Structure 1
């Protein structure tokens, strides 16, 4: 195994420059916050946005909104931050043998020696318990879904060892909030939420395949599987398929959710969400270059905006 790459003050190689953890957080907290990827907020956004999609479409579905929905939105935001942190901590615990062999991940807290495995386990449990406390403020159906979410979260770090499609398992975990937030509002899981969940999985395949192309050479050397390695020079064609699946499935979810009660105008506005999201994904495709890691990371991070776009349209439809 190679020695961890030295970084200033223990900073992680692919962290956002001058992020709040490296600049403002007390020094003793930084290794743990880096373990939770608090210095790289894009993952929290990618976990949170499907939650807000599910909540917005659920409100559109039954044309009902209240103060508790505001709490669901806030609770999902806090829970996404905590569970993304717990999930990343679990990922780094299970991947500690691999991370030291990959250039981009060698500076992470565990392979860099900033956090012990025991300390990481305690930190993961603390974050999970706090998130569970928030989950308990939702209805029983949502609580049950929240507990079930632990299954794909637990499996994901091992997926790249046994399948060329680990991004599917990431999609299963990262988009679970679409099911949970819909159910937290409505009290039951319904078909539009499931279709929306499938759209989110297709979106995850899109953005995480882009992300995985940063590590293809190192992954090949150590035997890690990914869709980036599987697709190779055919990746752009696969990304187009994921784009079409995302837009088509989200459009179908919108029709199922909005059609029974809302106005035709609300339906048209809400359908503008997946349409505009698709154009943003197409813009990413135009800049996709497997040989430019900086561009790959930029495109991956741009998916925060990709996910916000349909939310804006859903919010506008709610006002009609």
Structure 2
């Protein structure tokens, strides 16, 4: 990864190095905050910033909004994942959004899903100022598909059903793939 990073321009290299702080903090976040999923989101979604800067040489609003959308999505899927471990986490004294939200998790997850989808939609809108109408429609269909997948997960959700929680967590591979496929088609139009 370092070899790839240094092949980019200086702004991208600096952005890449800046991510190391979040990468270093995340493994310890459960010890000092109820929101370790935020630190996971900050670390995991850094590629939205890095990719944009590597391509354009500068940081712009579409990348920042996509980064924030990714953080909201991480809060969504990792809270689902964390519900599998709430009893063990309580026994060993580590924190998570699943423990913090408890039975109100579905309301929080809905809010994170809406936030992720809304931020993604605005990021796409801003990233395509010169796009044709069909390109804009196809790109936003990716956002709609992403939102539909998160809605499907919410309809299935049972925070006390561990096998289902793992299934829903893993389903986020497809949730992320949906907009990527539509973005690829957008580029080809």
TM-score by length of 1: 0.58
> How far apart in 1 are the matches of 2:16 and 2:167?
31
Residue of 19, 23, 47 corresponding to 1:177: 47
- Counterpart residue number, 1:226: 96
- Counterpart residue number, 2:86: 216
- Counterpart residue number, 2:168: 299
Secondary structure at 1:261 match in 2: coil
Please provide the CA RMSD for this pair.
0.9
- Counterpart residue number, 2:158: 289
Shift of 1:289: 1.4
> How far apart in 1 are the matches of 2:37 and 2:185?
32
1:192 and 2:62 are equivalent in the alignment: yes
- Counterpart residue number, 1:106: none
- Counterpart residue number, 1:317: 186
TM-score by length of 2: 0.97
Shift of 1:201: 0.3
> How far apart in 1 are the matches of 2:86 and 2:30?
12
Query: Where does structure 2 lack aligned partners over 5 or more consecutive residues?
Result: none
| CA displacement 1:50-77 (0-9 Å, x = unmatched) | xxxxxxxxxxxxxxxxxxxxxxxxxxxx
Find runs of 4+ consecutive structure 1 residues off by over 3 angstroms: none
* Pairs within 5 Å for 1:255-274: 255-258=125-128, 260-274=129-143
Equivalenced residue count is: 189
> How far apart in 1 are the matches of 2:25 and 2:16?
15
> How far apart in 2 are the matches of 1:248 and 1:294?
29
- Counterpart residue number, 2:146: 277
- Counterpart residue number, 1:44: none
Query: Where does structure 1 lack aligned partners over 5 or more consecutive residues?
Result: 1-130
Shift of 1:141: 1.1
- Counterpart residue number, 2:118: 248
Which has more radius of gyration?
1
